[in-house]
């Protein structure tokens, strides 16, 4: 069984390919994970002397902490802005098919837009455990833990709740081609076991690739599932109106399966095939052509809000999980990771009156962006064999690569 190859894209320079051949699928089974595996990342993420880094204040948080904003710019003029608050991607500008720099990421102008307001975790580092845990409970080595239940009227724990990493101010270190953020989580905070040290390193290269590299170590067995919650609109982030990503063309080339959701959008434990359903993006599809389909999983999520399984996952290799294209700007985004799944989300729950105002004083409306969030499966600690358990003394070592080009 073969997936159609990813359509060719015209880039301004040669771009490495991260997609790998599909492995044979074993229904409902995943390879056993070990966080101390050697991870294969392309060595071209070395020092790039063309990277310029600017640093300035991003405002004072509600806790009275000074936050900072770092802007990385490469020799092509592509740039990314990163905040110490939440180790957050705030802005991301890349060239369109005419060479114009387009900001493709929803964000806010100061820390006020991210600090304690319901902003959908925009661009933030999500942890200690991304996505939902049913009842907020899990067991490690026979010991049960109870987390704060902050979603679904107290039925689920989501994105770390009030201990979420995206609402912490991280320590910052400027590198030659990026920024490293570090956070120390004390044992028991939010109900999570272990003193945990986490680093998130962002590096930008001259091939318009942004790498997000996660490393962490705990002094107790714990759970850890890190991702980034960036909201992308490749037509330009100024397109804030409802349904403004409907013309985006999406391909998820190595996802022939997804985890089936039940109550509260929690996985039931079943893994289903995408073929013959609107969940099938193994070949390119326009979002607007399928999102309104009468299908139970779309109804549960009020649109796409689904965890996809990554074919061929082995915990080491970077696998291309998504290709997104804007026919309007010609911008193409490829996303790669070495995680077993990813949440594909069509921003169905944006547009709340309580949201902070985005850039130019606009509200980011429902379905005005999409998210591709590499992760372990939701509620995996309770429902699946591949569990995000970080053993004492082991190293959590995972990466995400966002790669940008144009299709002229």
Q: Catalytic amino acids?
A: 229, 373
The continuous run of DSSP H or E covering 288 comes out as helix 287-290
- Burial (Cβ within 10 Å: 0-12, 13-18, ≥19) of residue 399: buried
- How many CA within 13 A on the CB side of residue 317? 16
d(CA 9, CA 97): 12
Tell me the backbone φ, ψ of residue 173, rounded to 5 degrees: -140, 125
Q: Residue 79: which of 100, 59, 110, 103 has the closest Cα?
A: 103
Task: Residue 197: name the closest of 333, 383, 395, 401 by CA.
Answer: 395
49 CB-side CA count, 13 A: 0
Helix (H, G, I), strand (E, B) or coil at 31: coil
Nearest to 370 by CA among 329, 407, 333: 333
Collapsing DSSP states into helix, strand and coil, what is residue 184? strand
What b/e readout covers 76-88, taking b as 16+ CB neighbours within 10 angstroms? bebbbbbbbbbbb
The SS3 of residue 167 is helix
Only one residue has tokens 């003193």, namely: 195
**Cross-strand bridge partners of residue 406:** 331
Round to whole Å and give the CA distance between 290 and 279.
8
Q: Which residue has the tokens 């326009």?
A: 286
């Amino acid at each position: 069984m073969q997936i159609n190859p990813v359509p060719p894209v015209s880039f301004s320079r040669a771009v490495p390919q991260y997609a790998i051949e599909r492995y044979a699928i074993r229904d409902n089974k995943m390879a056993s994970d070990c966080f101390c595996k050697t991870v294969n990342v392309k060595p071209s993420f070395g020092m790039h002397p063309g990277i310029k880094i600017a640093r300035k204040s991003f405002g004072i948080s509600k806790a009275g902490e000074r936050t900072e904003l770092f802007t990385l710019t490469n020799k092509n003029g592509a740039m990314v802005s990163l905040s110490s608050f939440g180790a957050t991607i705030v802005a991301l500008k890349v060239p369109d098919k005419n060479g114009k720099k387009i900001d493709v990421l929803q964000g806010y102008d100061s820390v006020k837009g991210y600090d304690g307001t319901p902003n959908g975790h925009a661009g933030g580092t999500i942890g200690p455990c991304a996505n939902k845990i049913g009842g907020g409970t899990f067991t490690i080595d026979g010991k049960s833990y109870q987390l704060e239940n902050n979603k679904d009227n107290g039925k689920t724990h989501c994105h770390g709740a009030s201990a979420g990493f995206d609402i912490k101010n991280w320590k910052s270190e400027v590198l030659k081609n990026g920024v490293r953020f570090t956070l120390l989580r004390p044992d028991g905070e939010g109900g999570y076991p272990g003193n945990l040290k986490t680093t998130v390193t962002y590096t930008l290269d001259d091939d318009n690739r942004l790498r997000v590299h996660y490393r962490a170590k705990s002094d107790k067995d714990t759970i850890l599932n890190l991702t980034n919650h960036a909201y992308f609109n490749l037509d330009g982030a100024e397109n804030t109106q409802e349904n403004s990503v409907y013309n985006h063309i999406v391909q998820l080339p190595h996802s022939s399966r997804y985890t089936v959701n039940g109550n509260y959008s929690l996985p039931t434990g079943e893994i289903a095939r995408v073929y013959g359903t609107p969940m099938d993006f193994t070949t390119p599809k326009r979002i607007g052509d399928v999102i309104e389909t009468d299908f139970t999983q779309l109804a549960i999520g009020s649109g796409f809000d689904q965890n996809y399984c990554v074919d061929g996952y082995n915990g080491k290799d970077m696998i291309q999980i998504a290709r997104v294209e804007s026919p309007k700007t010609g911008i193409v985004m490829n996303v790669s990771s070495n995680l077993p799944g990813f949440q594909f989300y069509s921003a169905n729950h944006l547009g709340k009156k309580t949201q902070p105002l985005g850039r130019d004083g606009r509200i980011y409306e429902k379905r005005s962006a999409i998210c591709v969030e590499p992760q372990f499966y939701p509620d995996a600690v309770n429902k699946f064999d591949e569990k995000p358990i970080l053993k004492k003394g082991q190293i959590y070592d995972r990466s995400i690569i966002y790669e940008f080009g144009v299709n002229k």
